[in-house]
Structures are given as C-alpha cells and as structure tokens.
Amino acid sequence: MGLEDVTLREKSVASGVRQLGRARPQNPSRDAVSMPSVYRRLSAESLRQALRKMHLIRRFEESAEDAYMRGLVHGTMHLSIGQEASAVGICATLEPTDYMTSTHRGHGHSIAKGAQVARMFAEFFGKEDGYCRGRGGSMHIADVSTGNLGANGIVGGGLPIAVGVALSMKKQRRSCVVVSFFGDGANNEGAFHEALNMASIWKLPVVFVCENNGYGMSTSTERSTAVKDVAERACAYSMPGIVVDGNDFAAVAQAAFDAVERARRGDGPSLIESKTYRIRGHSRSDRNRYRTKEEIEAWLARDPIVAFERELARLGFVSKSGIEAIRTDVECEIAEAIAFAKASPAPSVEELTRYVYSD
Amino acid sequence: MSTPIEATAILQRRRSSVEDTRSSGLSPEPRELSYAQAIQEAMAIAMERDERVFLMGEDIGVYGGAFQVTGDLVHRFGADRVMDTPISELGSAGVAIGAALTGLRPIFEFQFSDFSALAMEQIVNQAAKLRFMLGGAVSVPLVMRFPSGSGTGAAAQHSQSLEAWFAHVPGLKVVQPATPHDAKGCLLAAIADPDPVMIFEHKLLYKMKGEVPEGHYTVPLGKARLCRPGRDVTIVATSIMVHRSLAAAEELSREGIEAEVIDLRSLRPLDRDTLTQSVKRTHRLVCVYEGVKTLGIGAELSASIAESDAFDYLDAPILRLGGAECPIPYNPELEKAAVPQTPTIIAAVRDLIGGRL
Ligand SMILES: Cc1ncc(C[n+]2csc(CCOP(=O)(O)OP(=O)(O)O)c2C)c(N)n1
Ligand SMILES: [Mg+2]
C-alpha cells in the first residue's frame, strides 16, 4: 500500500463512503479553528490519558519483542507498532462496560480497553497470573473485566461473536455497545459478510472497525480485495461506512464517537475503516519480501504517536515536561510489569485438563 | 534464497533427474533433504511433468508459505501456478474443488490445519461426496496439505491434530507421512490419485532431514511401513509419534524389550493387515498418536484387532497413548504434557510388559 492511499479525499466517493482525516481543511492561523472538534468531546485529561496509552502500547510491543529475542516468549506474536492511534482512538470513546472483540494483532486493543500490562506480560511468559493463566499466550489475551472478550487466532473469528454479544445486549435492554476490530484480511472471510448482514437486519449496536494496514500477511489489499476501500462493503449491508486516517487519533476518535452514538441510540451498526500500517513484520517469521524499505520508511515518517504528541503540545493540552513525565511513567510501568510477570508462578502440569469444562 | 541463475541450474538439474528416473527407474546416489524441501520438490516435479498441476494457498507466493514449504516456487513457476488466495478458506477450497472437477489438479495448502474448520463444508459435503452423489460421473483429483500438530507454542487454535475428523469421511483419503522420503512419495501419489487426498504434515517435522531419492517416485497410499522389527510389543504410531516411538524402542531395547514399530502412514485407506500380522507376532499393542485420545485413531486400531483373529493372540490389554482431553495449551511445559513424548511411551511399554496394567 502506498502513502497516496491515505491522502484522503475530502469529497464523498461514489459509493457514499465518507472520509475523515488529515486532508480536512485546516486553518493554520487560528488554533481554535484547527482544533479537531472531537477534542472538545474528550476532556483534557482523557486526551493526555490517550497519549499515555499510545506510549504504553508502543513500549509494551517493543518490550515484548525484546523479551521474545531473549527467549522469554514461546511461539509467535503479532505486533501493532504503528497502529496505536487506531486502537486508542476507538477505545477512547467507549465505556468500561462496553464490549470489544479483538484479533491476533490485539495487544494494543487490550491496553486501550484497559488491560494491565503486568498480566499481559505474565501471559506471554506462560504464567499463572497471565490473563489466560498461561494457557492462551499472545494470541488469546482477553480481559473480561474491561469488556475485552479476547484476541482471536482465527482471522474473522471475532466478528460473528461480536454480533451475538450485541444481540444479547439488545435483548437484555442494556445500552452497551460492541466494537469488533478486524484486519483488512478478514474482510474476505464469509464470517465478515454474514456478521455485517445480521447486525444490520437486527439493527444491533455494533461498531465494526477494520484496521486496514495494507496487508494480510504478504497479500496486499489490492491483490486480495475487490473494492478499493473496505468501507465500501458497508453499502451492501445498508450501514454507514467511513474511511479514516488510522494514524490520526482525532480522525479515528471522531468516527468512533459518531458510530458509538448511533449504536447506543439503537440505530444499528457502522463500519469504520481505519487506514494504517504495521511497521513490523506480520509475525516473527516474516522476511518482508512483499514490501519495500521505502514504503516502511514513508510510514515511519507518519508515526501516529509523534503526530498526536505534537498536536496536543501545539494546542496546549500537554507541555514538554508533561510529555517527559508520561514517558518516564510508562517506562516505570513496563519495568514493573516485566518484573511481576517474571516472578509469577508457572501453571502446574497437574492442572493440564482444568478449565476445559465448568467445574 | 537462490539467485535466478542458481534457480535455473536447479531447474535444469531437476529436469534431467526427472528424465533419468523416467528412463532408468533408478535413483542415483542418496542425498538428504528436509521434510519441507521434499514436499517442495514433489510439487516442483509434479508441476514440471503436468501442466494441469497448480498450487493454491494463503501467502504461498513471495512469502513462501507460513512454513516455507512452497519457498521460491513462485519464481520458478509464476504467480499463475503458485496462486496466493485471499484469506477465504471456505471459498478457495471450493474453487480448488471446482478446478479439480473440470480437468485441473490443484494442490491446496491450508496455512494451518486448524483453518480447515472454516472450509469443512466444501471438503466434507462437496469434495468427499460429489463422485458418489453423481453416480461416478465425476471425480475430484484434489490434494490438500495441512500443517498440523503442537510443539511450536502457537496455542489452541494453531496446534491441533484433526486428521481423524477427515478420516471419518468416506470419499476422502487421509495420509500422514512421517519422513522426508514419504512426504515426497505420498504427495506424488496423491497428485496422481483421482480422488481427494488430505495430507497431514507435522510442523515439527518440516526441518527434519532424511534420505530422499531424486526424481519421480510414489509411496502407495494406504500401506503402513514396518520401521523396526521386534518380538515383544507392537507400537503403531503416526507422524511425529513414529520418531518418538523409534526413540523409545531404542531405549527399551537396552532394557531387553524389543518393540516392533509400525508407521501407519495412512488413516484412510487403513492398512489393517500389517497391523494384525504384527500383533500376531508380538502379542501386545500400543497405539501412539497426537490427536485427542478419546474417539480417535487408537480406538479404530484397537477395534481392528478386537474384531480380527489377532485378538486371540493378545497377552495384554491394548494401550492407547494420545493427546490429552484438552485444547493445546500455550505454556511450554503444559504443551509438552498434552501429547505423548518419548518418556511417556517408554514408561507405558514398560508397564505393559511388566504386567502392571
Ligand atoms: C482463518 C484463518 N486463516 C488464516 C490465518 C493465518 N493468518 C493469521 S493473521 C493473517 C493475516 C491477517 O491479515 P489482516 O486481517 O489484515 O490482519 P493483520 O495481520 O494485517 O493485522 C493470516 C493469514 C488465520 N489465523 N486464520
Ligand atoms: Mg492487515
């Protein structure tokens, strides 16, 4: 995927897909005008929290990668470095009681929804204090206490489940919304199409969030997907579809607010396509044969954390020292989390077949 | 990665080796390949010999496949014959079936055997039954490859051994080659076969090296292999468990217990003969497989003995060693404990021979 794909057009495309992102008109002379309106809907404190979470995700991913290199982590892992604005921008609009289903690339989603990094590291190290008691690992992290129903090892696996959760909320007259994250690769699975259709016919409170990072493993969206924007698929299921710049926190949060409100009002599901990029390889086995160094570098220059930090500083939401404090604080939290995870006990082999059925 | 020049040289060498075997029927000197290389070579030979053969799967092109089994084949045969599919298991399995129905010979790679669950409809309700339902009017010469098994830390949705599911379906053939030699020979046999053949490849075997003849040869589907003769007990095993059983047999031999080891190789058709003959010689049977123990391969093998005249020869109960009754856990110690390991096999055989069961 080239950069031009996210140079988002202002006018609506023929399919009726709305676009939100950097190309929106900005008035550089007056900050009040160029401030994304969504910032008014979030408190200054929650904007700073969002920045902190983006840093926490980045440092979590880097530390997980480092732990992997040092042989502390078994198996493989899928890092979301570069996609932080997408995870945090969506989750910043949710209540702790709202639900979320995630993907194999789910560390960022978990943290954004409120998971503790200490228990996440413990899971990576296969320990009893991990979110899955060491049984699930990176690909199955869930934190039910924050409405996080889990990552998924199966591409598209979470989509129909999210629809079921939304059905359950509607039947129980609970006002919770369900966010279902999935990748561009998942949009070609039957489960995606079946899920969107059912969410639409039953007007369920689901926000489908496609994190389009340009590739499903080595296969670009151009090679795998018949439409240019995954958001175009929304019109086949009579729901709003919107494309946002996934590296722009404000654009993501704005779209999420609209979709979450619509869902909570009982007006049904939406599809948000968040165009972003995964900086690291697909997983540990990736040799990066399908993309160029130039492409990766171009995206590195559009780092979502750097952009968000600059914008918050420009608008006076955070000071230089405030940013420093966030970084130090995050460093500290990561170090403590790793120490906690290392010290956690391993599960007992005697309990191999526990948790298969309810006791 | 080989350079284009190297690749051409390899191509030419392989071409001539194919011709060699065609004319002489002999393989020249022995050489070693990994299990993955053996499969890749089989696919290359098949594509060179027969233009109807092509490969389909997720990330099998420039990526080379999740386990590098297709490797650089896309550079030799082009993207039309080494076709990346979208992540659409149900649909692409159906596409492969349609192509097989109408004159092509697709080899379909599942990225992990676990994802076959998404394609079950096409495999079980369509591929397996089309010929029968249509009274023999069509056939489905389809090969599907399934990287499977545990031991890589990939946890519950990427580590299963589901071969018994497929072996339960008449219309499918199911094989589990355990060595590089058999991996190549079974695949070439599968490609030549007019019916759908499912090949289960254990991920931990991909790097294993072994002698592989050059050129084209086939290993008959449905024929077990006696790997080690022995008088005291028959250990019948599949896939990676063959190697664990052989290691166990070596150890047991030091204690004076001589185990006969049989590599089942194929679940459907099932070679009951080789098994019953062996049990008649050894009077004891241990079945070792990675799939979940209950209602699995071992049950069928035990029943085969119970229903045959070998039953009267038994001096001990039949023993099954299979996967634990749980999904594959992530933690490495739990993961190891979830499937039979060499020490498990040794201990079980000792107990069986010592009459402690
Ligand atoms: C049903 C299924 N098919 C294939 C895979 C293997 N696989 C895991 S992630 C992945 C790529 C997914 O791409 P995308 O949905 O775009 O998510 P991304 O990895 O880019 O975040 C593939 C092919 C899988 N886990 N499940
Ligand atoms: Mg993707």
Size (chain B), residues: 357
Between the alpha carbon of residue A335 and those of residues A137, A163, B263, the distances in Å are 20, 38, 50
pLDDT at B3 over 50: no
pLDDT tens, residue by residue, B121-152: 999 999 999 999 999 999 999 999 999 999 99
Report how far ligand 2's centroid is from the alpha carbon of A162 (Å): 19
pLDDT at A58 over 60: yes
Could you tell me which residues come within 8 angstroms of residue B299 by beta carbon, excluding any fewer than 6 positions away? Answer: B320
pLDDT tens, residue by residue, A112-155: 999 999 999 999 999 999 999 999 999 999 999 999 999 999 99
A351: in domain: no
A29: in domain: no
Q: Which residue puts its alpha carbon closest to atom 7 of ligand 1?
A: A155
Ligand that comes closest to the CA of residue B65: 1
pLDDT tens, residue by residue, B210-257: 999 999 999 999 999 999 999 999 999 999 999 999 999 999 999 999
A223, amino acid identity: R
Q: What is the pLDDT of residue A68?
A: 95
Measured CA to CA, the distance from residue B28 to residue B23 in angstroms comes to 12
A30: in domain: no
Q: Which residues does residue A208 pair with via DSSP β-bridges, in sequence order?
A: A180, A271
Measured CA to CA, the distance from residue A137 to residue A134 in angstroms comes to 6
pLDDT at B312 over 60: yes
Taking the CB of residue A228, how many other CB atoms lie within 10 A of it? 14
Q: What is the pLDDT of residue B12?
A: 40
Task: Quote the minimal CA–CA distance from A173 to chain B in Å.
Answer: 33
Place of tokens 């979208």: B86
Residue range of the domain that includes A153 = 3-21+40-344
pLDDT at A21 over 80: no
CA dihedral A45, A46, A50, A51 (to 10 degrees): -20
A243, A19 Cβ separation under 8 angstroms: yes
Measured CA to CA, the distance from residue B184 to residue B18 in angstroms comes to 14
Gyration radius from chain A CA atoms: 20
Using CB atoms, which residue from A75, A157, A218 is nearest to B155? A75
Between the alpha carbon of residue B316 and those of residues A21, B67, B319, B356, the distances in Å are 73, 42, 9, 10
Q: What is the pLDDT of residue A30?
A: 43
Q: Which residue of A has its CA nearest to B151?
A: A75
pLDDT tens, residue by residue, A144-199: 999 999 999 999 999 999 999 999 999 999 999 999 999 999 999 999 999 999 99
Record: fold of B225-353: Rossmann fold (3.40.50)
B228, B200 Cβ separation under 8 angstroms: no
Residue A142 near ligand 1, beta carbon < 6 Å: no
Domain extent listing, chain B: 4-211, 225-353
CATH label of the domain that carries residue A277: 3.40.50.970
Please report which confidence band the pLDDT of residue A351 belongs to, taking 50, 70 and 90 as the band edges: very high
Q: What letter would DSSP give residue B122?
A: I
Taking the CB of residue A288, how many other CB atoms lie within 10 A of it? 14
3-state secondary structure of B146: strand
> Which residues in chain B are closer than 8 Å to A190, comparing Cβ atoms?
88, 90-91, 118
Atom of ligand 1 nearest to the CA of A184: 16
N-term to C-term CA, chain B: 53
- Angle at which helix A249-265 crosses helix A44-69, to 10 degrees, equals 110
Query: Would an 8 Å CB–CB cutoff place A136 in contact with chain B?
Result: yes
Query: Which of A103, A125, A233, A349 to substitute to test the interface with B, most B CBs within 10 Å?
Result: A349
pTM, entire model = 0.91
**Token representation of residue B249:** 């047999």
pLDDT tens, residue by residue, B320-334: 999 999 999 999 999
Q: What letter would DSSP give residue B295?
A: T
Q: Which of B66, B130, B70 is nearest to A155 (CA)?
A: B66
Please report which confidence band the pLDDT of residue B28 belongs to, taking 50, 70 and 90 as the band edges: low
CA dihedral B296, B298, B302, B305 (to 10 degrees): 110
A352: in domain: no
Measured CA to CA, the distance from residue A45 to residue B224 in angstroms comes to 69
Q: List strands edge to edge, sheet with B233-237.
A: B225-228, B259-263, B233-237, B285-292, B319-323
Q: What value does the mean pLDDT take over residues A29-46?
A: 82
pLDDT at A294 over 60: yes
pLDDT mean across residues, chain B: 93
B53-57 and B82-84 strand pairing: parallel
Q: What is the pLDDT of residue A2?
A: 45
**Token representation of residue A69:** 């290199």
pLDDT at B21 over 80: no
Which one of the listed residues B89, B109, B214, B290 is annotated catalytic? B89
Q: Which of A80, A47, A62, A44 is nearest to A331 (CA)?
A: A62
Atom of ligand 1 nearest to the CA of A105: 21
Residue A104 near ligand 1, beta carbon < 6 Å: yes
Structurally, chain A folds into a number of domains equal to: 1
Gyration radius from chain B CA atoms: 20
> What's the CATH architecture for B4-211?
3-Layer(aba) Sandwich (3.40)
Concatenating the DSSP letter of every residue in A166-229 gives: HHHHHHTT----EEEEEEGGGGGSHHHHHHHHHHHHTT--EEEEEEE-SEETTEEHHHH-SSSS
Could you tell me which residues come within 8 angstroms of residue A301 by beta carbon, excluding any fewer than 6 positions away? Answer: none
Please report which confidence band the pLDDT of residue B27 belongs to, taking 50, 70 and 90 as the band edges: low
Residue A155 near ligand 1, beta carbon < 6 Å: yes
A26: in domain: no
* Residue B158 appears among annotated catalytic residues: yes
Measured CA to CA, the distance from residue B237 to residue A260 in angstroms comes to 55
B237, B262 Cβ separation under 8 angstroms: yes
pLDDT at B174 over 70: yes
Q: Which residue of B has its CA nearest to A283?
A: B66
Q: What is the pLDDT of residue A25?
A: 39
Place of tokens 């071992």: B298
> B224-249 b/e with 16+ CB inside 10 Å = b?
bbebbebebbbbbbbbbbbbbbbbbb
pLDDT at A26 over 50: no
Please report which confidence band the pLDDT of residue A302 belongs to, taking 50, 70 and 90 as the band edges: very high
pLDDT at B8 over 80: no
Q: What value does the mean pLDDT take over residues B181-205?
A: 98
Q: What value does the mean pLDDT take over residues A206-230?
A: 98
> Which residues in chain B are closer than 8 Å to A191, comparing Cβ atoms?
118
CA angle A117/A165/A263 to nearest 5° reads 95
Measured CA to CA, the distance from residue A164 to residue A180 in angstroms comes to 11
* Complex confidence, ipTM: 0.90
A210: in domain: yes
Could you tell me which residues come within 8 angstroms of residue B119 by beta carbon, excluding any fewer than 6 positions away? Answer: B89, B90, B92, B93, B94, B110
A160: in domain: yes
pLDDT mean across residues, chain A: 93
Q: What value does the mean pLDDT take over residues B278-301?
A: 98
Q: What is the pLDDT of residue A10?
A: 33
